Chains A and B, each alone.
Chain A
Amino acid sequence: MADEVILLDFWPSVFGIRARIALREKGVEFEYREENLRDKSPLLLQMNPVHKKIPVLIHNGKPVCESMNVVQYIDEVWSDRNPFLPSGPYQRSQARFWVDFIDTKLLKPADNLWQTKGEEQEIAKKEYIEALKILETELGDKPYFGGDTFGFVDIAMIGYYSWFEASEKLANFSIEPECPILMAAAKRCLQRESVVKSLPDSEKILAFAFKIRKIYCV
Protein backbone atom coordinates (compact mmCIF):
# COMPACT_ATOMS: atom_id res chain seq x y z
CA MET A 1 0.00 0.00 0.00
CA ALA A 2 1.48 3.35 -0.98
CA ASP A 3 2.01 5.87 1.79
CA GLU A 4 0.05 9.06 1.75
CA VAL A 5 2.24 11.82 3.15
CA ILE A 6 1.07 15.41 3.44
CA LEU A 7 3.05 18.27 4.97
CA LEU A 8 1.22 21.35 6.19
CA ASP A 9 3.84 24.08 6.22
CA PHE A 10 4.67 27.77 5.83
CA TRP A 11 7.50 28.50 3.43
CA PRO A 12 9.78 30.75 5.60
CA SER A 13 9.43 28.63 8.74
CA VAL A 14 12.74 27.39 10.21
CA PHE A 15 10.70 24.56 11.71
CA GLY A 16 8.89 23.59 8.53
CA ILE A 17 12.20 23.42 6.68
CA ARG A 18 13.28 20.60 9.01
CA ALA A 19 10.37 18.40 7.99
CA ARG A 20 10.87 19.11 4.27
CA ILE A 21 14.55 18.23 4.44
CA ALA A 22 13.93 15.08 6.48
CA LEU A 23 11.41 13.79 3.96
CA ARG A 24 13.71 14.55 1.01
CA GLU A 25 16.72 12.97 2.73
CA LYS A 26 14.70 9.76 2.94
CA GLY A 27 13.40 10.10 -0.62
CA VAL A 28 9.79 10.15 0.57
CA GLU A 29 7.19 11.44 -1.88
CA PHE A 30 4.96 13.97 -0.18
CA GLU A 31 2.33 16.56 -0.91
CA TYR A 32 3.34 20.04 0.27
CA ARG A 33 0.50 22.27 1.34
CA GLU A 34 1.17 25.93 2.04
CA GLU A 35 -0.73 27.34 5.02
CA ASN A 36 -1.80 30.93 5.31
CA LEU A 37 -1.10 31.44 9.00
CA ARG A 38 -3.50 34.36 9.15
CA ASP A 39 -6.25 32.09 7.82
CA LYS A 40 -5.44 28.58 8.96
CA SER A 41 -7.03 25.71 7.05
CA PRO A 42 -9.67 23.49 8.67
CA LEU A 43 -7.24 20.60 8.13
CA LEU A 44 -4.52 22.31 10.18
CA LEU A 45 -6.93 23.11 12.98
CA GLN A 46 -8.18 19.53 12.92
CA MET A 47 -4.73 17.91 12.78
CA ASN A 48 -3.07 20.17 15.37
CA PRO A 49 -5.90 21.35 17.60
CA VAL A 50 -3.60 21.84 20.60
CA HIS A 51 -1.11 24.30 19.10
CA LYS A 52 -2.62 25.09 15.68
CA LYS A 53 0.92 25.41 14.32
CA ILE A 54 2.94 24.14 11.39
CA PRO A 55 4.66 21.92 10.43
CA VAL A 56 2.19 19.07 10.65
CA LEU A 57 3.08 15.81 8.98
CA ILE A 58 0.02 13.76 8.06
CA HIS A 59 1.01 10.16 7.39
CA ASN A 60 -1.83 7.97 6.14
CA GLY A 61 -4.28 10.34 7.80
CA LYS A 62 -2.53 10.49 11.18
CA PRO A 63 -0.87 13.74 12.32
CA VAL A 64 2.58 14.20 13.83
CA CYS A 65 3.32 17.66 15.24
CA GLU A 66 6.40 19.55 16.52
CA SER A 67 9.24 19.72 14.02
CA MET A 68 11.90 17.60 15.74
CA ASN A 69 9.24 15.05 16.64
CA VAL A 70 8.39 14.93 12.95
CA VAL A 71 12.08 14.48 12.04
CA GLN A 72 12.49 11.66 14.56
CA TYR A 73 9.28 10.01 13.34
CA ILE A 74 10.47 10.18 9.73
CA ASP A 75 13.80 8.66 10.82
CA GLU A 76 12.03 5.76 12.55
CA VAL A 77 9.44 5.02 9.86
CA TRP A 78 11.89 5.16 6.94
CA SER A 79 14.68 3.60 8.94
CA ASP A 80 16.25 1.72 6.07
CA ARG A 81 18.21 4.66 4.66
CA ASN A 82 20.16 7.77 5.74
CA PRO A 83 19.71 7.51 9.51
CA PHE A 84 19.52 10.91 11.19
CA LEU A 85 20.17 9.82 14.76
CA PRO A 86 23.24 7.82 15.76
CA SER A 87 22.67 4.26 16.97
CA GLY A 88 24.36 4.58 20.37
CA PRO A 89 22.12 5.77 23.23
CA TYR A 90 24.75 8.21 24.54
CA GLN A 91 25.33 9.86 21.14
CA ARG A 92 21.56 10.01 20.67
CA SER A 93 21.17 11.77 24.00
CA GLN A 94 23.81 14.30 22.97
CA ALA A 95 22.10 14.93 19.62
CA ARG A 96 18.80 15.52 21.45
CA PHE A 97 20.53 17.81 23.95
CA TRP A 98 21.92 20.02 21.18
CA VAL A 99 18.59 20.22 19.40
CA ASP A 100 17.02 21.28 22.70
CA PHE A 101 19.81 23.88 23.07
CA ILE A 102 19.08 25.23 19.59
CA ASP A 103 15.37 25.53 20.31
CA THR A 104 15.83 27.09 23.74
CA LYS A 105 18.95 29.26 23.48
CA LEU A 106 19.13 30.21 19.81
CA LEU A 107 15.46 30.65 19.00
CA LYS A 108 14.60 33.60 21.19
CA PRO A 109 17.60 35.80 20.28
CA ALA A 110 17.09 34.85 16.61
CA ASP A 111 13.50 36.05 16.81
CA ASN A 112 14.47 39.16 18.74
CA LEU A 113 16.87 40.17 15.97
CA TRP A 114 13.90 41.06 13.81
CA GLN A 115 11.33 41.73 16.52
CA THR A 116 13.26 44.36 18.45
CA LYS A 117 15.39 47.43 17.97
CA GLY A 118 17.88 49.60 19.83
CA GLU A 119 19.26 48.16 23.05
CA GLU A 120 17.02 45.12 23.00
CA GLN A 121 18.31 44.23 19.57
CA GLU A 122 21.91 44.68 20.70
CA ILE A 123 21.30 42.23 23.54
CA ALA A 124 19.72 39.80 21.09
CA LYS A 125 22.79 40.07 18.84
CA LYS A 126 25.12 39.23 21.75
CA GLU A 127 23.02 36.27 22.87
CA TYR A 128 22.64 35.02 19.30
CA ILE A 129 26.40 35.09 18.65
CA GLU A 130 27.09 33.50 22.04
CA ALA A 131 24.75 30.62 21.24
CA LEU A 132 26.31 30.21 17.78
CA LYS A 133 29.78 30.13 19.32
CA ILE A 134 28.75 27.38 21.72
CA LEU A 135 27.37 25.41 18.79
CA GLU A 136 30.58 26.02 16.85
CA THR A 137 32.60 24.59 19.75
CA GLU A 138 30.37 21.53 19.75
CA LEU A 139 30.82 21.13 15.99
CA GLY A 140 34.60 21.28 16.37
CA ASP A 141 36.50 19.64 13.51
CA LYS A 142 33.63 17.54 12.31
CA PRO A 143 32.06 18.23 8.90
CA TYR A 144 28.62 17.85 10.48
CA PHE A 145 27.29 17.89 14.04
CA GLY A 146 26.59 14.20 13.56
CA GLY A 147 30.21 13.51 12.56
CA ASP A 148 30.88 12.41 9.01
CA THR A 149 27.26 12.28 8.03
CA PHE A 150 24.53 14.89 7.88
CA GLY A 151 22.11 14.20 10.71
CA PHE A 152 19.61 15.23 13.35
CA VAL A 153 21.32 18.34 14.72
CA ASP A 154 22.33 19.56 11.24
CA ILE A 155 18.69 19.26 10.14
CA ALA A 156 17.67 21.31 13.18
CA MET A 157 20.14 24.08 12.27
CA ILE A 158 19.36 24.48 8.56
CA GLY A 159 16.50 26.88 9.07
CA TYR A 160 18.74 29.13 11.15
CA TYR A 161 21.51 28.91 8.50
CA SER A 162 18.99 29.99 5.88
CA TRP A 163 18.16 33.06 7.95
CA PHE A 164 21.81 34.10 8.55
CA GLU A 165 21.87 36.59 5.70
CA ALA A 166 18.54 38.16 6.64
CA SER A 167 19.53 38.31 10.33
CA GLU A 168 22.81 40.04 9.48
CA LYS A 169 21.09 42.64 7.30
CA LEU A 170 18.24 43.24 9.79
CA ALA A 171 20.51 43.70 12.76
CA ASN A 172 23.55 45.09 10.96
CA PHE A 173 26.26 42.65 11.99
CA SER A 174 28.35 39.87 10.53
CA ILE A 175 28.40 36.25 11.64
CA GLU A 176 31.44 35.00 9.67
CA PRO A 177 34.16 36.78 11.69
CA GLU A 178 32.68 35.44 14.91
CA CYS A 179 31.87 31.90 13.75
CA PRO A 180 33.87 31.03 10.63
CA ILE A 181 33.70 27.27 11.21
CA LEU A 182 29.95 27.27 11.69
CA MET A 183 29.60 29.44 8.57
CA ALA A 184 31.60 26.87 6.60
CA ALA A 185 29.34 24.10 7.91
CA ALA A 186 26.30 26.17 6.98
CA LYS A 187 27.55 26.64 3.41
CA ARG A 188 28.26 22.91 3.19
CA CYS A 189 24.76 22.00 4.35
CA LEU A 190 23.10 24.59 2.14
CA GLN A 191 24.51 22.75 -0.89
CA ARG A 192 22.87 19.42 -0.13
CA GLU A 193 20.21 18.45 -2.63
CA SER A 194 17.52 17.95 0.00
CA VAL A 195 18.27 21.39 1.40
CA VAL A 196 18.44 23.18 -1.95
CA LYS A 197 15.06 21.70 -2.87
CA SER A 198 13.52 22.66 0.48
CA LEU A 199 14.82 26.18 0.98
CA PRO A 200 13.19 29.27 -0.36
CA ASP A 201 15.35 31.68 -2.29
CA SER A 202 17.40 33.90 0.07
CA GLU A 203 15.99 37.03 -1.59
CA LYS A 204 12.50 35.85 -0.68
CA ILE A 205 13.53 35.27 2.95
CA LEU A 206 15.10 38.71 3.10
CA ALA A 207 12.00 40.39 1.72
CA PHE A 208 9.81 38.44 4.13
CA ALA A 209 12.08 39.31 7.08
CA PHE A 210 11.86 43.02 6.35
CA LYS A 211 8.11 42.77 5.93
CA ILE A 212 7.52 41.13 9.32
CA ARG A 213 9.97 43.48 10.99
CA LYS A 214 7.85 46.37 9.85
CA ILE A 215 4.86 44.74 11.52
CA TYR A 216 6.67 44.11 14.81
CA CYS A 217 8.79 47.23 15.05
CA VAL A 218 6.46 50.11 14.55
Chain B
Amino acid sequence: MTDEVILLNFWPSMFGMRTMIALQEKGVKYEYREEDLINNKSPLLLEMNPIHKKIPVLIHNGKPVCESIIQIQYIDEIWSNKNPFLPSDPYQRAQALFWADFIDKKLYVCGRKTWSTKGEEQEAATKEILEILKTLQSELGDKPYFGGDEFGFLDIALIGYYSWFPAYQKFGNFSIEPECSKLMAWGKRCMQRESVAKSLPDSEKVGGFILQLKKIYGIE
Protein backbone atom coordinates (compact mmCIF):
# COMPACT_ATOMS: atom_id res chain seq x y z
CA MET B 1 0.00 0.00 0.00
CA THR B 2 1.45 3.35 -0.95
CA ASP B 3 1.65 6.00 1.70
CA GLU B 4 -0.52 9.05 1.47
CA VAL B 5 1.40 11.99 2.86
CA ILE B 6 -0.02 15.50 3.01
CA LEU B 7 1.67 18.55 4.50
CA LEU B 8 -0.41 21.54 5.55
CA ASN B 9 1.96 24.48 5.59
CA PHE B 10 2.45 28.22 5.18
CA TRP B 11 5.44 29.08 3.02
CA PRO B 12 7.25 31.59 5.31
CA SER B 13 7.16 29.29 8.33
CA MET B 14 10.59 28.19 9.50
CA PHE B 15 8.80 25.34 11.23
CA GLY B 16 7.15 24.10 8.05
CA MET B 17 10.50 24.26 6.30
CA ARG B 18 11.79 21.65 8.74
CA THR B 19 9.15 19.15 7.78
CA MET B 20 9.56 19.80 4.06
CA ILE B 21 13.31 19.23 4.34
CA ALA B 22 12.84 16.07 6.42
CA LEU B 23 10.42 14.58 3.87
CA GLN B 24 12.71 15.50 0.97
CA GLU B 25 15.76 14.04 2.70
CA LYS B 26 13.94 10.72 3.02
CA GLY B 27 12.72 10.89 -0.56
CA VAL B 28 9.08 10.79 0.54
CA LYS B 29 6.49 11.84 -2.03
CA TYR B 30 3.94 14.15 -0.48
CA GLU B 31 1.19 16.57 -1.35
CA TYR B 32 1.90 20.16 -0.29
CA ARG B 33 -1.10 22.27 0.67
CA GLU B 34 -0.70 25.97 1.31
CA GLU B 35 -2.77 27.35 4.20
CA ASP B 36 -3.99 30.92 4.29
CA LEU B 37 -3.22 31.62 7.92
CA ILE B 38 -4.00 35.30 7.73
CA ASN B 39 -7.50 35.07 6.34
CA ASN B 40 -8.91 31.61 6.37
CA LYS B 41 -7.65 28.37 7.89
CA SER B 42 -8.93 25.32 6.03
CA PRO B 43 -11.46 22.94 7.60
CA LEU B 44 -8.84 20.20 7.24
CA LEU B 45 -6.34 22.17 9.32
CA LEU B 46 -8.90 22.82 12.03
CA GLU B 47 -9.88 19.14 12.02
CA MET B 48 -6.31 17.81 12.04
CA ASN B 49 -4.92 20.25 14.60
CA PRO B 50 -7.92 21.29 16.70
CA ILE B 51 -5.78 22.04 19.75
CA HIS B 52 -3.37 24.58 18.30
CA LYS B 53 -4.84 25.23 14.83
CA LYS B 54 -1.29 25.76 13.58
CA ILE B 55 0.91 24.57 10.76
CA PRO B 56 2.82 22.51 9.87
CA VAL B 57 0.55 19.49 10.09
CA LEU B 58 1.78 16.24 8.62
CA ILE B 59 -1.06 13.91 7.67
CA HIS B 60 0.17 10.36 7.12
CA ASN B 61 -2.46 7.96 5.82
CA GLY B 62 -5.15 10.16 7.35
CA LYS B 63 -3.51 10.51 10.77
CA PRO B 64 -2.14 13.89 11.86
CA VAL B 65 1.22 14.59 13.46
CA CYS B 66 1.62 18.12 14.79
CA GLU B 67 4.60 20.20 16.00
CA SER B 68 7.61 20.36 13.71
CA ILE B 69 10.24 18.83 16.02
CA ILE B 70 7.89 15.92 16.68
CA GLN B 71 7.33 15.58 12.93
CA ILE B 72 11.08 15.35 12.21
CA GLN B 73 11.38 12.53 14.74
CA TYR B 74 8.31 10.80 13.33
CA ILE B 75 9.62 11.00 9.76
CA ASP B 76 12.99 9.70 10.95
CA GLU B 77 11.35 6.75 12.71
CA ILE B 78 8.94 5.79 9.91
CA TRP B 79 11.39 6.08 7.02
CA SER B 80 14.24 4.74 9.07
CA ASN B 81 16.02 2.94 6.25
CA LYS B 82 17.78 5.99 4.84
CA ASN B 83 19.51 9.21 5.91
CA PRO B 84 19.02 8.92 9.69
CA PHE B 85 18.56 12.36 11.25
CA LEU B 86 19.15 11.55 14.89
CA PRO B 87 22.26 9.77 16.16
CA SER B 88 21.77 6.26 17.53
CA ASP B 89 23.54 6.96 20.81
CA PRO B 90 21.11 8.12 23.55
CA TYR B 91 23.49 10.79 24.87
CA GLN B 92 24.04 12.33 21.41
CA ARG B 93 20.30 12.23 20.84
CA ALA B 94 19.68 14.02 24.12
CA GLN B 95 22.14 16.73 23.06
CA ALA B 96 20.45 17.17 19.68
CA LEU B 97 17.03 17.45 21.35
CA PHE B 98 18.41 19.91 23.91
CA TRP B 99 19.66 22.25 21.19
CA ALA B 100 16.44 21.98 19.20
CA ASP B 101 14.59 23.02 22.36
CA PHE B 102 17.07 25.90 22.83
CA ILE B 103 16.39 27.11 19.28
CA ASP B 104 12.65 27.05 19.79
CA LYS B 105 12.73 28.72 23.19
CA LYS B 106 15.18 31.47 22.34
CA LEU B 107 15.56 32.13 18.64
CA TYR B 108 11.95 32.46 17.50
CA VAL B 109 10.87 35.08 20.02
CA CYS B 110 14.06 37.07 19.71
CA GLY B 111 14.02 36.93 15.92
CA ARG B 112 10.50 38.26 15.88
CA LYS B 113 11.49 41.20 18.05
CA THR B 114 14.18 42.29 15.56
CA TRP B 115 11.47 43.32 13.11
CA SER B 116 8.41 43.91 15.26
CA THR B 117 9.88 46.31 17.81
CA LYS B 118 11.86 49.51 17.70
CA GLY B 119 14.15 51.71 19.73
CA GLU B 120 15.67 50.20 22.83
CA GLU B 121 13.63 46.99 22.67
CA GLN B 122 14.83 46.36 19.13
CA GLU B 123 18.43 47.06 20.03
CA ALA B 124 18.24 44.65 22.93
CA ALA B 125 16.77 42.01 20.60
CA THR B 126 19.54 42.40 18.04
CA LYS B 127 22.14 42.06 20.78
CA GLU B 128 20.39 39.02 22.22
CA ILE B 129 20.01 37.29 18.87
CA LEU B 130 23.72 37.60 18.23
CA GLU B 131 24.40 35.96 21.59
CA ILE B 132 22.01 33.14 20.73
CA LEU B 133 23.62 32.63 17.33
CA LYS B 134 27.11 32.70 18.85
CA THR B 135 26.06 30.02 21.33
CA LEU B 136 24.81 27.88 18.45
CA GLN B 137 28.01 28.59 16.54
CA SER B 138 30.03 27.29 19.52
CA GLU B 139 27.97 24.15 19.48
CA LEU B 140 28.70 23.75 15.77
CA GLY B 141 32.43 24.19 16.37
CA ASP B 142 34.56 22.96 13.52
CA LYS B 143 32.04 20.39 12.29
CA PRO B 144 30.58 20.81 8.80
CA TYR B 145 27.13 20.15 10.25
CA PHE B 146 25.62 20.16 13.73
CA GLY B 147 25.21 16.42 13.26
CA GLY B 148 28.94 16.04 12.57
CA ASP B 149 29.91 14.88 9.11
CA GLU B 150 26.33 14.30 8.13
CA PHE B 151 23.43 16.73 7.80
CA GLY B 152 21.00 15.81 10.56
CA PHE B 153 18.30 16.68 13.07
CA LEU B 154 19.69 19.90 14.43
CA ASP B 155 20.68 21.19 11.00
CA ILE B 156 17.08 20.59 9.91
CA ALA B 157 15.80 22.33 13.05
CA LEU B 158 17.86 25.50 12.47
CA ILE B 159 18.22 25.98 8.73
CA GLY B 160 14.76 27.47 8.17
CA TYR B 161 15.77 30.45 10.29
CA TYR B 162 18.66 31.04 7.85
CA SER B 163 16.12 32.21 5.27
CA TRP B 164 14.93 34.81 7.77
CA PHE B 165 18.42 36.09 8.66
CA PRO B 166 18.56 38.69 5.86
CA ALA B 167 15.19 40.09 6.99
CA TYR B 168 16.20 40.15 10.68
CA GLN B 169 19.35 42.05 9.69
CA LYS B 170 17.59 44.47 7.37
CA PHE B 171 14.77 45.39 9.73
CA GLY B 172 16.91 45.22 12.84
CA ASN B 173 19.76 47.12 11.20
CA PHE B 174 22.57 44.84 12.31
CA SER B 175 24.89 42.28 10.80
CA ILE B 176 25.29 38.60 11.64
CA GLU B 177 28.38 37.72 9.56
CA PRO B 178 31.10 39.57 11.52
CA GLU B 179 30.39 37.65 14.73
CA CYS B 180 29.00 34.45 13.25
CA SER B 181 30.95 33.74 10.10
CA LYS B 182 31.17 30.00 10.80
CA LEU B 183 27.43 29.79 11.26
CA MET B 184 26.82 31.69 8.03
CA ALA B 185 29.21 29.33 6.25
CA TRP B 186 27.19 26.43 7.66
CA GLY B 187 24.03 28.04 6.29
CA LYS B 188 25.53 28.37 2.81
CA ARG B 189 26.73 24.76 2.99
CA CYS B 190 23.23 23.55 3.86
CA MET B 191 21.70 25.63 1.07
CA GLN B 192 23.61 23.49 -1.41
CA ARG B 193 21.53 20.51 -0.43
CA GLU B 194 18.58 19.95 -2.71
CA SER B 195 16.15 19.40 0.18
CA VAL B 196 17.07 22.76 1.69
CA ALA B 197 17.22 24.75 -1.56
CA LYS B 198 13.76 23.49 -2.46
CA SER B 199 12.23 24.23 0.95
CA LEU B 200 13.58 27.65 1.86
CA PRO B 201 11.89 30.69 0.36
CA ASP B 202 13.82 33.46 -1.27
CA SER B 203 14.86 36.00 1.37
CA GLU B 204 13.30 38.83 -0.67
CA LYS B 205 9.96 37.10 -0.37
CA VAL B 206 10.42 36.81 3.39
CA GLY B 207 11.17 40.53 3.58
CA GLY B 208 7.99 41.26 1.62
CA PHE B 209 6.01 39.04 3.95
CA ILE B 210 7.30 40.88 7.01
CA LEU B 211 6.22 44.20 5.46
CA GLN B 212 2.79 42.69 4.95
CA LEU B 213 2.66 41.54 8.59
CA LYS B 214 3.76 44.93 9.84
CA LYS B 215 0.91 46.53 7.93
CA ILE B 216 -1.62 44.06 9.28
CA TYR B 217 -0.49 44.44 12.88
CA GLY B 218 0.09 48.16 12.61
CA ILE B 219 3.79 47.90 13.39
CA GLU B 220 5.87 50.70 12.01
Contact = CB atoms under 8 A, between A and B. Distances in A.
B97 A69 contact: yes
A77 B70 contact: no
B70 A66 contact: no
Contacts of B102: 50
A90 B63 contact: yes
A72 B70 contact: no
Contacts of A77: 90
Contact of A93 (B74, B91, B97, B135): B74
A93 B101 contact: no
Nearest to B74: A93
A93 B90 contact: no
A216 interface: no
Interface string A60-79: 00101110011011001100
Interface residues of A, number: 22
A72 B73 contact: no
Given A90-B63, A97-B66, A97-B67, A65 B98 contact: yes
Contacts of A31: none
Contact of B97 (A50, A72, A92, A101): A72
Nearest to A96: B70
A105 B94 CA distance: 24
Nearest to B78: A89
A37 interface: no
B65 interface: yes
B109 to A, nearest CB: 13
Given A77-B90, A96-B67, A134-B51, A66 B97 contact: yes
Contacts of A101: 51
B135 A50 contact: yes
A97 B90 contact: no
16 contacts: A62-B91, A69-B98, A69-B101, A72-B93, A72-B94, A72-B97, A73-B90, A73-B94, A89-B77, A92-B74, A92-B77, A96-B70, A97-B67, A97-B70, A105-B51, A134-B51
